[in-house]
C-alpha cells in the first residue's frame, strides 16, 4: 500500500516552522516508508486547496493523508486500514483535540511527552474534516478541497460535508490529536474566517445530504482546477 502524506505549509512564522520541523522528523522516524510532501501554496492569500490539490493529483498513491503542519496523531495506520479494507472511503484517526499552549508546545518540541503539558483550552471533539483526513486518492480527486476558501476558516468543515454527501459517512478513530501552539491567523472570530468563506460554507451546509446539489457545487470549482 503506497501512502502519501500531504502537509500544506507556508514558512514565515518561527513557531509554525519549529512545529513542522518536529513533525517532519517524527514522520520520517515512525513512517519511513510513506511519501511525505510539504505542499506550499501559491503566492498571495493562503489557500489550503491550492497547496494540497496539485500534490494529490500528481501522486500515484492509493491512500492520501492530508495533515496540518501543527498536529500529530499516533493512529494514522488505523485510519488508513479502515479505508483500504473498505470500511469507509475516507477517515479521521482522531476524536479529541488536545490544544497545547505555548509552554506545553515548547516542552514537546524539546523532547518531552505531550501528556500532562498545559493546554490552551480543555480538550474538545474535533470537527469532521479538521486536522487530519485520510482517504482514497480517487475520492480526493472526485471531491477535492475547494480553492474558493481563502485565509482561515470553513474549508475543512465544508470539505467534510462534501465527502459525507458524495462518498458516505467517514470512519472515525478515538485517538487523541495533539495540536502544537502558534499565533492564530487573522480571522473574524473563532468560528468564522471571513464573510466570503462563511457564505460559501453556508452553501455547503444547504447542500449536505443532497448529492445532486452537492455535486453541482463541487463541479463549479472543479472546472477551474488543472485536472478538471
Q: Is the pLDDT of residue 125 over 90?
A: yes
CA atoms within 13 A on the CB side of 77: 7
Structure confidence at residue 227 (pLDDT):
42
In a domain, 177, yes or no: yes
**Which pLDDT band holds residue 222 (cuts at 50, 70, 90)?**
confident
Contact 128, 92 (CB under 8 A): yes
Instruction: Write out pLDDT tens, residues 70-104.
Output: 999 999 999 999 999 999 999 999 999 999 999 99
Structure confidence at residue 225 (pLDDT):
62
Structure confidence at residue 208 (pLDDT):
98
In a domain, 228, yes or no: no
**Which pLDDT band holds residue 152 (cuts at 50, 70, 90)?**
confident
- Find the mean pLDDT for residues 133-141: 97
CA-closest candidate to residue 99, choices 132, 121, 117, 114: 121
Report the Cα 65 to chain-centroid distance in Å. 8
Q: Share the mean pLDDT of the chain.
A: 93
Instruction: Write out pLDDT tens, residues 9-54.
Output: 998 899 999 999 999 999 999 999 999 999 998 889 899 999 999 9
Domain that holds residue 81: 3-222
> What CATH number is associated with residue 27?
3.90.550.10
Report the Cα 81 to chain-centroid distance in Å. 18
In a domain, 38, yes or no: yes
Instruction: Write out pLDDT tens, residues 164-213.
Output: 999 999 999 999 999 999 987 655 555 655 778 899 999 999 999 999 99
In a domain, 170, yes or no: yes
**Total number of domains constituting the chain:** 1
In a domain, 49, yes or no: yes
Q: Which helix (H) or strand (E) covers residue 172, if one does?
A: strand 171-179
Which alpha helices (H) appear in the chain, and where do they start and end? Answer: 14-30, 48-58, 76-84, 102-109, 137-142, 155-167, 195-207, 211-222
Cα four-point dihedral sign 137, 99, 123, 151: negative
Query: Within 10 A of 59 (CB to CB), how many other CB atoms are there?
Result: 18
Amino acid at each position: 500500500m503506497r501512502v502519501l502524506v500531504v502537509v500544506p505549509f507556508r514558512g514565515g512564522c518561527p513557531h509554525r516552522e519549529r512545529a513542522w520541523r518536529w513533525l517532519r522528523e517524527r514522520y520520517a522516524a515512525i513512517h519511513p516508508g510513506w511519501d511525505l510532501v510539504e505542499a506550499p501554496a501559491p503566492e498571495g492569500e493562503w489557500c489550503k486547496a491550492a497547496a494540497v490539490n496539485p500534490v494529490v493529483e500528481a501522486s500515484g498513491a492509493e491512500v492520501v493523508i492530508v495533515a496540518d503542519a501543527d498536529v500529530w496523531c499516533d493512529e494514522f495506520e488505523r485510519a488508513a486500514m479502515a479505508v483500504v479494507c473498505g470500511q469507509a472511503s475516507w477517515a479521521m484517526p482522531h476524536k479529541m483535540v488536545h490544544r497545547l499552549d505555548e509552554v506545553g508546545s515548547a516542552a514537546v518540541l524539546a523532547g518531552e511527552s505531550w501528556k500532562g503539558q498545559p493546554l490552551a483550552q480543555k480538550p474538545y471533539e474535533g470537527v469532521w474534516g479538521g486536522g487530519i483526513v485520510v482517504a482514497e486518492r480517487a475520492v480526493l480527486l472526485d471531491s477535492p478541497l475547494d480553492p474558493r476558501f481563502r485565509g482561515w476558516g470553513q474549508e475543512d468543515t465544508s470539505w467534510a460535508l462534501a465527502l459525507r454527501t458524495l462518498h458516505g459517512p467517514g470512519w472515525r478513530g478515538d485517538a487523541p490529536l495533539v495540536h502544537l501552539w502558534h499565533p492564530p491567523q487573522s480571522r473574524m472570530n473563532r468560528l468564522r474566517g471571513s464573510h466570503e468563506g462563511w457564505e460559501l460554507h453556508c452553501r455547503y451546509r444547504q447542500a449536505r445530504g443532497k448529492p445532486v446539489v452537492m455535486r453541482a457545487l463541487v463541479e463549479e470549482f472543479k472546472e477551474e482546477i488543472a485536472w478538471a
